Amino acid sequence: MSVRGRVLLTLLAAAVASGFAAGAWSLPAETGPGVLPPRLEARYQKLTDELRCPVCQNEPISTSQAQIAGALRQIVRQRLLAGQSNAQIKQYLISRYGLFAVYKPPLQRSTFLLWFGPFILLLLAIIVVGFAIRQHRRSLLESDAEHQ
């Protein structure tokens, strides 16, 4: 192998090694869930399942591998240990990340359509189908009357 090939191989090995090291250093320091007392462990699991990862969008922070999800799990753990309620922790995350942080946003003026929009659309669809059926029946009755 030539000197040039050895230098390129050494540089490639150094780049790969530094990439692994950078990845290890960039992950948040997260202690395992076993650190929490058993009475808080169930709340921790429930909360991390109810909170949405801002990066992964439709994945809860409990299963997300994103760096921000690890940081959010750490925040939840710290706030549980500090004695905050589930509502306080959710409110803190909503204030930082918006209503997108929770799967079930609170009922507010800004979330009215989110909560009731599907029911309104269903009701409108039923009304439209009802009018279409009524119109079709009228046209059938009129055509029968014309044939007789």
Which pLDDT tens digit goes with each residue over 51-80? 988 888 788 988 888 898 899 999 999 999
> Which is more confidently placed, 133 or 116?
133
Q: Is the pLDDT of residue 18 over 60?
A: no
CA distances to 31, 38, 64, 121 from 133, in Å = 62, 59, 48, 18
> Taking a C-beta distance cutoff of 8 angstroms, is the pair 43, 86 a contact?
yes
pLDDT band at 21 (very low <50, low <70, confident <90, very high): very low
Q: Look up the pTM and report it.
A: 0.55
Q: Which two tokens stand for residue 146?
A: 């014309």
Alpha-carbon span 41 to 125, nearest angstrom? 45
- Lowest pLDDT segment from 3-12, 22-31, 128-137: 22-31
H-helix segments, 27-111: 38-50, 67-81, 86-97
